[in-house]
Structure 1
């Protein structure tokens, strides 16, 4: 008796491809195993140009939804029309809502134009947590039958482990008491100016604040005081560079104005650091107060300054203990457990019957 051929892997495309500067997509798709094959959709126009061919895309995983418009030259109408053609040709769409709204004014305006249509067109709206779902429901009429919650995994194995003393020696921080870090892209929604002001108000002579990451245009006019306690390293950081500043830090500060998902908080925990941040959905998902960090009410008049003052008063030993708790907590975000949930979702979509034709509002 002849053996049956093994089932063909489910094939998906993802857009945009941000793997060069964000490990999230690589970790997600690597976790799927051999029964699901993911590849980037380099050109958004190709989504419908393959229609009717054997190699046609059947499942699209859409991430940062404004990319085709901001970077690819599509109008909002053309973007939604392309998705509508793809879906009416038998395609399925999973949309991961990474942000409550994009971080720049231009992209926010685009998102407000297209999100209503997206919610009609997509088969699945993916969010990373229940706090994210609650926040998104306050801003959008989410069709709950389409919602799936799958956690954001950790960054284990991506960033090298560096000892605190070694990192401080390299960065000339041997004499520092408590080091506070604002990591990643330096953007307006991370409130760098407010953090600097709070630090100047509360820090002692041996405390340090590091701002480390690429400075985006919306904070191009960020004013840095002439104070040796504040250290700015603006520019692209390699994985080793990031590991080094995290290792040197006692506290990772994330004073977001809003956050639906925080990769920076998950990275902080992966590298054994506690988080001081605003009480937003993205941080509520990650930080357990007071075990792994502290969240403050950003609507309180002196919320950030009061929280930072208390954190600095607690000192490095208390925050080292939080870092150890954070490292234990983040192990629950193992991609070996998260991957099968994604695999089941993609396999379910690949076997769906063709749905009714849809049009955007």
Structure 2
């Protein structure tokens, strides 16, 4: 009997490494094993690996591209990175770029980020977006070549966070049993409009209602928490257990983004059975289906939307949360991984000819 040929494992270098604060990358790359093995690293690490590769292409997967020049004042950082990408590809390496945002949230980084994105549109073998709304928005801003674009959905976060009963979560967090609890998770930054959110909430909240802002304040952003017991600020990164408790305690999740191309927070909310109140942006349009799984309002209408949300019976929001969880179940990681495996295998196995040239 002939022995089966050993399965080849294809290497991926991904950058940046945000696994300590976001389970997205961990869940994504775990779903690709054993055919692909991913390790964090820089483009220079990928060049070194490709230079000793025997035949197959090493893959470099870029996320959140602003990390290329974050923390550096060197104006050459973008050019140097793009030069390295060209060198990597000349050696036989292949590049996947996942577009999480169309622009960095810090205004000072926008010019450098735009230059980097233009270069990546020319050099990336695959440009990945998470949804059709995201693709439609990206096509308005970037010179995408359609044959290189792939739309593969953002998976759910099933199993990444513990699930708690609402009553137990509120008791452990010291929250009122009978109040409306609104959660705004993640980093507090200007694009999330926290000042406007607090003002809208305080204008319509009752004495036992609470707005929880759970996240560190972005560097350079000045945000003063009002002296009002109805506003709770939890600075820093939450543990997975507290993320689970906070979502369980909340009646709904508030995501008042100015911009959003992909919203992991909305998908997390749905995974944990909570509906979303948020701005009508591409990222939320993908994750929220109003009125069944939440409510999306036009830009500038946060105050009215918050008033209506707080006036609705908690049972309505609970029903929306159940519907959101059911729809999040369709974001099955095994199903989504199958699409990724098709794309990555095509890139890694020679001969590969880039489309769109």
The TM-score with structure 1 as length reference comes to 0.93
Kindly state the Cα deviation for residue 4 of structure 1 after the two structures are TM-superposed.
5.4
CA distance in 2, matches of 1:34, 1:155: 20
Contact kept? 2:167, 2:177, Cα under 8 Å: no
Give 1:186 shift: 1.4
Give the superposition deviation at 1:317: 1.2
The equivalences for 1:133-282 within 5 A come to: 133-219=135-221, 221-282=222-283
- Name the residue aligned to 1:342: 340
> Contact between 2:49 and 2:58, CA under 8 Å: does it hold in 1?
no
The Cα of 1:175 is off from its aligned counterpart by 4.1
For residues 176 and 186 of structure 1, do their structure 2 counterparts lie closer, same or farther at Cα, with a shift above 3 Å needed? farther
Between the aligned partners of 2:352 and 2:267, the Cα distance in structure 1 is 38
Distance in 2 (CA, whole Å) between partners of 1:107 and 1:199 is 31
Deviations along 1:220-260, one digit per CA (max 9) or x if unpaired, are: x2122211111111112111111111111101000000000
Q: Say if 1:62 and 1:95, in contact at 8 Å, map to a contact too.
A: yes
Q: Which residue of the partner structure matches residue 321 of structure 1?
A: 319
Post-superposition shift, 1:71? Answer: 4.5
Contact 2:43–2:60 (CA under 8 A) maintained in structure 1: no
What is the Cα deviation at residue 45 of structure 1?
2.2
Distance (whole Å) between structure 2 residues aligned to residue 224 and residue 68 of structure 1: 32
Secondary structure in 1 aligned to 2:259?
A: coil
- What is the CA-CA distance between 1:355 and the residue it aligns to? 5.0
**1:45 lines up with 2:36 in the alignment:** no
Q: Does structure 2 conserve the Cα–Cα contact (< 8 Å) formed by 1:29 and 1:38?
A: yes
TM-aligned CA deviation for residue 51 of structure 1: 4.4
Matched, 1:330 2:328: yes
Higher RCO (Cα < 8 Å, 6 or more apart):
1
Rate the CA distance shift 1:315–1:146 in 2: closer, same or farther, 3 A. same
**TM-score under structure 2 length normalisation:** 0.94
Question: 2:85 matched to 1:94?
Answer: no
Determine the structure 1 residue equivalent to 2:310: 312
Aligned residues: 353
User: Residue 94 of structure 1: SS of its match in structure 2?
Assistant: strand
Does the aligned pair in 1 maintain the 2:215–2:234 contact within 8 Å?
yes
Any conservation in 2 of the 1:178–1:315 contact (CA below 8 Å)? no
3-state SS of 1:54 partner: coil
| 1:49–1:9 CA distance, 2 compared to 1 (3 A) | closer
Q: Which residue pairs with 2:117 in the alignment? A: 115
Q: CA deviation at 1:172?
A: 1.9
Cα distance in 2, alignment partners of residues 54 and 258 from structure 1: 41
1:10 shift after superposition = 2.1
Deviates more, 1:146-155 or 1:45-54: 45-54
Paired residue secondary structure (1:217):
coil
Q: Contact (CA 8 Å) 2:57, 2:92: kept in 1 or not? A: no
Q: Which runs of 5+ in 1 are unaligned?
A: none
Alpha-carbon offset, residue 171 of structure 1:
2.0
Mapped to 2, the partners of 1:311 and 1:297 lie a distance apart of 15
Partner of 2:26: 26
- Structure 2 unaligned spans of 5+: none
CA distance in structure 1 between the partners assigned to 2:70 and 2:328 by the alignment: 34
Is the Cα contact below 8 Å between 2:21 and 2:237 reproduced in 1? Answer: no
